[in-house]
Amino acid sequence: MPGLGITLGRGGATTSLQDLQNADCILIEGSNMAEAHPVGFRHPMLAKEKNGAKLIHVDPRFTRTSALSDIYAPLRPGTDIAFLGGLINYVLQNERYFEEYVKAYTNAATIITEEFRDADVTGLFSGWDEETQQYDMAKWSYANDSPRYAASGGSQLGSDNGEKDAGSEADSSGTTDKEQEVVGQDLGGTSGQDLDSRASDETLQHERCVFQILKRHFSRYTPETVEKVCGTPKEAFLKVAETVCENSGRDRTTALVYSVGWTQHSTGVQLIRTAAILQLLLGNIGRPGGGIMALRGHATIQGSTDIATLYDILPGYLPIPNAKRRHGTWEEYLESETAETGWWSNFPKYATSLFKAWYGEAFDPARGEEVYSKFPRIDGDHSYYPTIMAMKDREVEGCFVFGQNFAVGGPHGKMAREALRSLEWLVVLDAYEIETATAWKLDGVDPQSCDTEVFLMPSGLVAEKDGSFTQTQRMLQWHDKAVEPPEDARSDAWFMYHLGRRIKELYADSEDPRDALIKHLTWDYPLEGAHDEPEIEAILKEISGYYVENGEPVDGFKDLRDDGTTACGGWIYCGSFAGGVNQTRRRKAQSDSEWGWAWPADRRTLYNRASADPEGKPWSERKKLVWWDEEKGEWTGGDVPDFERDKPPSYRPEKGAKGMAAIGGDVPFIMNEDGRGWLFAPVGLKDGPLPVHYEPLESPVPNALYRQQRNPGLKLFPGRPDNPYNYPEDPRYPHVVTTYRLTEHHTTGAMSRWNPWLNELQPELFCEISPELAQEEGIENAGWVTVETSRGKIHCKALVSDRIPVYRFDGRRVHTIGLPYHFGPNGLVTGDVVNDLLPVSLEANVSIHEAKAFTANIKKGRL
């Protein structure tokens, strides 16, 4: 999640569920933790029991989590930036920030270019280009010697954001050269960035220093504005603000918990960045009981982004070569993705070791070009949703679906099912006959009219195979096969391995240069059992890394080299097989540190150097975690230090130092090139250096804070009549819809709608509405209703409940309709597909849809 990555250096949760027990206050916002993470929720409950911790829930609905919290604050869906911005303003205006932490560990003192203009009244920062609808990030840079590299997402300035068409290639490479000249000029063209020469004001008074910019920027977010925009009563907001401040500082810490109530918005990334800024100001990052707990969903969804199913990254968040960036040759790729200073100066070691793991002897870094020139490049947004549209437009011939049911789970479900019917062939590997595999007979379509050839392959499920899950706190846990998969069912690894093996056999004699990588790919996993299953531990060994010479495992990523002597299939997991032992299998009861294995390097709390002051002493006895042991000359404490173990707090880089040598002993955010947390992001995000409240794409109200209504970076498809949007304040669709989960079902219901016990508990789709809305529309509890948007309509029963607050906006009443999204046409219990209501719209940075806030109308009966 770049909201965290750009600010702190890594995109993952900064803390662990167990550490929530050490918190004095836990703010749960954008998550219904008691309902969707009921097992993990025991840790906040224990914090309450053990430390008298205060639990706060901020949610559009009063839920099971709200019921167990000390404070509940309602807010209108899609307005969290205003709420969190309000908290930031409260902290700054009332001087409740952790001053020493902010001065030492963030970029608060850094001075920004004179060219920078804040979003003020317009809602647009300097650098906005109306024509291309993009920002020029150079207009947000530091006053001199600005970073051009963001820890999450790699090189940024000088790229064209990967969006422009080929015609502007020349321009973009021109910019690259200019950027490099600037870096070179300042330093006589010989050495790297000199962080000391960066203009800064340690007193935080300079009017262009980050701290003052931040203060001015958030000064609009007053408690009154929060009440107006979010509909949160001012008293409730102030109570939250005061409770969070009281429980932050030297002696106390507040943790923040979020999940997809925050991500699935047109401002999702900036929203989470707002939370990271708040936690930095309060000094809550890297300390026990603090941090940001990003709750992940599916069993190994963290793992699937780490080792890497996203279309634009390679394992370990290395950017995939991009046709529109300076990635033409192996040298250019390495050069442009290597930061001068900070941890990402190690990029060549990780990229080289990855290519070595994949292509073995064929890959020699000295002649890296041979393999790299054949390696695929991306040339645009090929994320999930544009691909679905391309499928529908018959630009995609075939599709493999593993463990996903997007006929129900993706936005604009109707379009997704039509897309499936437009394919020539479709392979679905799943344990159930899911809607994605049966689109050919849904929606009243005559199967005869559908040409798609569908292969539904029965998959094994978790108990039927070995493997690891990487769960929500970056922790890998191993599981062993309990039983063989029944009949023809096979594991996904079996399917992939044998598909790869057969393809390699087919191409073995090809002389075509473009087939070289298929031929070179190492595909030598040992096989076992009656069905020739690949040995899964062998795959973990490759991911963990080894010396090429003798196959001996490396201990961790510090051992990785860029000369081809080491191989590693995913540098952040490096060391998970250290010593030849499967570290992810560890199960030492009552021990957090020897239970499973957490990336990176088995650290449980990220940035834990920040739990000590600049001199290396704990900020307080109560909140100590990692500190400098002067006698031993190393960092020590209750966690693996997230710092070079023997770098003393007094270490100061020499002028022109490079790599990690440029990072002082007194700055904890080692992934960022200046070692500091970024309150202001001079580079990295496509929709601004600071978060701004925009209304959701579909909203019943105008933006009360800025002229700009919605996120300007949002990617839309205005030319598609099959994907219409409800416009702002659209009288046809006056209510806000938000979608969510129930404990008794799982996501699209693909797995849970076949289970009679669960079905008895939650037998059908419903929508939750307030008594006031029910009365207005003449709707009765348990009566049928129709919910409609410009994409489609669904039928369901009404659940009339005062758990759904009604929001006020400028004298208007804004109603919310809550819809669980677990139903579809297959299974023992069935219901309409809620996602048929949603449009396809893409957030600027990660292309996520907006399932948590869109507009609709509701009418009595089945219309």
Ligand X SMILES: Nc1nc2c(c(=O)[nH]1)N[C@H]1C(S)=C(S)[C@@H](COP(=O)(O)OP(=O)(O)OC[C@H]3O[C@@H](n4cnc5c(=O)[nH]c(N)nc54)[C@H](O)[C@@H]3O)O[C@H]1N2
Binding site for ligand X (CB under 6 A): 29-33, 36-37, 58-61, 63, 75, 77-78, 80, 259-261, 264, 295, 297-298, 402-406, 409, 429-432, 434, 459, 461-462, 492, 738-741, 743, 745-748, 750-751, 821, 834-835, 851-853
Nearer to ligand X, 259 or 711 (CB): 259
Residue 615 near which of ligand X, Mo ion, none (CB within 5-8 Å, type-dependent): none
Tell me which H or E stretch contains 216: helix 210-218
Which of residues 162, 233, 297, 637 is near Mo ion by CB under 5 A? Answer: 297
In whole angstroms, what is the distance from residue 598 CA to residue 578 CA?
13
Nearer to Mo ion, 297 or 380 (CB): 297
Q: How far is the CB of 341 from ligand X (least distance, A)?
A: 35
Residue 59 near which of ligand X, Mo ion, none (CB within 5-8 Å, type-dependent): ligand X
Nearer to ligand X, 110 or 471 (CB): 471
Q: How far is the CB of 413 from ligand X (least distance, A)?
A: 9
Question: Hey, CA dihedral for 270, 273, 275, 278, is it positive or negative?
Answer: negative
Residue 409 near which of ligand X, Mo ion, none (CB within 5-8 Å, type-dependent): ligand X
Which of 73, 44, 41, 42 lies closest to 57 in space, CA to CA? 73
Residue 103 near which of ligand X, Mo ion, none (CB within 5-8 Å, type-dependent): none
Are the C-beta atoms of 690 and 214 separated by less than 8 Å?
Answer: yes
Nearer to ligand X, 89 or 748 (CB): 748
By beta carbon distance, the residue nearest Mo ion is 297
Cβ-Cβ contacts under 8 Å for 713 (sequence gap 6 or more): 133, 134, 135, 686, 687, 688, 843, 844, 845
Exposure b/e, 442-469, CB count within 10 A at least 16 = b: beeeeeeebebebebbbbbbeebbbbbb
Are the C-beta atoms of 108 and 281 separated by less than 8 Å?
Answer: no
Nearer to Mo ion, 297 or 458 (CB): 297
Residue 835 near which of Mo ion, ligand X, none (CB within 5-8 Å, type-dependent): ligand X
Q: How far is the CB of 38 from ligand X (least distance, A)?
A: 7
Q: How far is the CB of 454 from ligand X (least distance, A)?
A: 15
Q: How far is the CB of 140 from ligand X (least distance, A)?
A: 27
Helix axes 330-337, 347-359, angle to 10 degrees: 140
Stretch binding Mo ion (CB under 5 A), from 141-149, 292-300, 463-471, 578-586: 292-300
- The DSSP annotation for 7-19 comes to HHS-SS-SS-TGG
Residue 496 near which of ligand X, Mo ion, none (CB within 5-8 Å, type-dependent): none
Residue 430 near which of Mo ion, ligand X, none (CB within 5-8 Å, type-dependent): ligand X
Q: How far is the CB of 497 from ligand X (least distance, A)?
A: 14
* Cα 829 from chain centre: 32
Q: How far is the CB of 837 from ligand X (least distance, A)?
A: 8
Q: How far is the CB of 323 from ligand X (least distance, A)?
A: 29
Q: How far is the CB of 261 from ligand X (least distance, A)?
A: 2
Q: How far is the CB of 3 from ligand X (least distance, A)?
A: 14
Nearer to ligand X, 108 or 817 (CB): 817
Q: For residue 282, count CB atoms less than 10 angstroms from its CB and return exposed for 0-12, middle for 13-18, buried for 19 or more.
A: buried
Q: How far is the CB of 841 from ligand X (least distance, A)?
A: 13
Nearer to ligand X, 2 or 192 (CB): 2
Q: How far is the CB of 18 from Mo ion (least distance, A)?
A: 22
Residue 403 near which of Mo ion, ligand X, none (CB within 5-8 Å, type-dependent): ligand X
Residue 77 near which of Mo ion, ligand X, none (CB within 5-8 Å, type-dependent): ligand X
Nearer to ligand X, 37 or 356 (CB): 37
Residue 80 near which of Mo ion, ligand X, none (CB within 5-8 Å, type-dependent): ligand X
Q: For residue 664, count CB atoms less than 10 angstroms from its CB and return exposed for 0-12, middle for 13-18, buried for 19 or more.
A: buried
DSSP class of residue 621?
S
Q: For residue 811, count CB atoms less than 10 angstroms from its CB and return exposed for 0-12, middle for 13-18, buried for 19 or more.
A: exposed
What string of H, E and C letters represents the secondary structure of 673-714?
CCCCECCCCCCCCCCCCCCCCCECCCCCCCCCCCCCCECCCC
SS3 (DSSP) at 476: strand
Stretch binding Mo ion (CB under 5 A), from 293-301, 323-331, 370-378, 837-845: 293-301
In whole angstroms, what is the distance from residue 823 CA to residue 180 CA?
53
Q: How far is the CB of 815 from ligand X (least distance, A)?
A: 14
Nearer to Mo ion, 338 or 405 (CB): 405
Helix axes 223-230, 80-93, angle to 10 degrees: 170
Instruction: Read off φ and ψ for residue 860, nearest 5 degrees.
Output: -70, 140
Nearer to ligand X, 109 or 853 (CB): 853
Stretch binding Mo ion (CB under 5 A), from 289-297, 665-673, 694-702, 819-827: 289-297
Nearer to Mo ion, 33 or 53 (CB): 33
Nearer to Mo ion, 137 or 416 (CB): 416
Nearer to Mo ion, 297 or 648 (CB): 297
Q: How far is the CB of 308 from ligand X (least distance, A)?
A: 17
CA angle 829, 835, 841 (to 5 degrees): 165
Nearer to ligand X, 110 or 438 (CB): 438
Nearer to ligand X, 334 or 475 (CB): 475
What does each C-alpha distance from 620 to 128, 171, 196, 287, 521 come to in angstroms?
Answer: 45, 53, 29, 11, 53
Tokens in use for 101? Answer: 């932490």
Q: How many other C-beta atoms can be found within 10 angstroms of the C-beta atom of residue 483?
A: 10
Q: How far is the CB of 685 from ligand X (least distance, A)?
A: 20
Beta bridge mates, 454: 426
- The DSSP annotation for 121-172 comes to TTT--TTEETTTTEE-GGGG-BSSS---EETTTEE-TTS-TTTS-GGGHHHH
In whole angstroms, what is the distance from residue 281 CA to residue 116 CA?
22
Residue 740 near which of Mo ion, ligand X, none (CB within 5-8 Å, type-dependent): ligand X
In whole angstroms, what is the distance from residue 600 CA to residue 605 CA?
10
Residue 78 near which of ligand X, Mo ion, none (CB within 5-8 Å, type-dependent): ligand X
Stretch binding Mo ion (CB under 5 A), from 295-303, 665-673, 810-818, 825-833: 295-303
Tokens in use for 772? Answer: 């006031």
Residue 834 near which of Mo ion, ligand X, none (CB within 5-8 Å, type-dependent): ligand X
Cβ-Cβ contacts under 8 Å for 524 (sequence gap 6 or more): none
Are the C-beta atoms of 279 and 10 separated by less than 8 Å?
Answer: no
**Rule CB under 5 A: is residue 500 a binding residue for Mo ion?**
no
Residue 66 near which of ligand X, Mo ion, none (CB within 5-8 Å, type-dependent): none
Nearer to ligand X, 80 or 666 (CB): 80
Tokens in use for 356? Answer: 């070595």
CA angle 768, 86, 253 (to 5 degrees): 95
Residue 434 near which of Mo ion, ligand X, none (CB within 5-8 Å, type-dependent): ligand X
Strand-pair category, 766-769 with 793-800 = parallel
Q: How far is the CB of 20 from ligand X (least distance, A)?
A: 15
Helix, strand, coil in percent for the chain, rounding step 5? 30, 15, 50
Q: How far is the CB of 266 from ligand X (least distance, A)?
A: 11
In whole angstroms, what is the distance from residue 499 CA to residue 371 CA?
22
Residue 841 near which of Mo ion, ligand X, none (CB within 5-8 Å, type-dependent): none
Binding footprint of Mo ion, residue count (CB under 5 A): 1
Q: Could you tell me if residue 656 is left (phi over 0), alpha (psi between -120 and 50 degrees) or otherwise beta?
A: left
Nearer to ligand X, 422 or 835 (CB): 835
Residues in contact with Mo ion by CB under 5 A are 297
